[in-house]
Amino acid sequence: HDGFIPKHYYCWCICYLPDEDESRALVEEFEKRVEVSKKGYLIWGWAPQLLILEHPAVGGVVTHCGMNTVIETVDAGLPMVTWPLFVDQFFNERLLVDVLKIAVPVGATEWKSWSEFGNEIQ
């Protein structure tokens, strides 16, 4: 374990990756380490979300609170950790956390664009 690969099994979907060489190089290096570690599974493109959510190994979901993800996760009966980024996602979070009480928030309070979000975690 070198700090780059989690200790637990995981699935990471990469739907979009900027054409920037630095971002692409980071993810390609990560992909090589994932293959060696046999701890994770990377999906390039759209993930088969329902298939993943219904797998017995999935115990919960970290979600951006998009309505499709919310509906599919509720249907699968899984608890959620909410991490809204913008638009209606903050309202969806309130429904999940305060009304239905099936989620806990990470504490995001401001709208972020994808580019701002990317800079924040680098």
Domain ranges within the chain, ordered by starting residue: 7-47, 48-122
Q: What is the pLDDT, as a whole number, of residue 4?
A: 59
pLDDT in tens, 40-88: 888 888 888 899 999 998 999 999 999 999 999 999 999 999 999 888 9
CB 41 within 8 A of CB 35: no
pLDDT digits (tens, 9 = 90+) for 13-37: 877 776 666 777 888 888 888 888 8
What does the alpha-carbon distance between residue 94 and residue 118 come to, in Å, rounded to a whole number?
Answer: 24
Give the residue, 83 or 3, on which the prediction is more confident: 83
Spatial separation of the C-alpha atoms in residues 27 and 110, rounded to whole Å: 27
Report the distance separating Cα 90 and Cα 83, nearest Å: 9
Strand 61-63 and strand 103-105: the pairing is unpaired
In the CATH scheme, what is the homologous superfamily, with its name and number, of domain 48-122? Glycogen Phosphorylase B; (3.40.50.2000)
Contact (Cβ atoms closer than 8 angstroms) between residue 86 and residue 110: no
- CA dist 10 and 24 (Å) reads 20
Q: Which of 66, 62, 69 lies closest to 104, judged by CA? A: 62
pLDDT of residue 5: 63
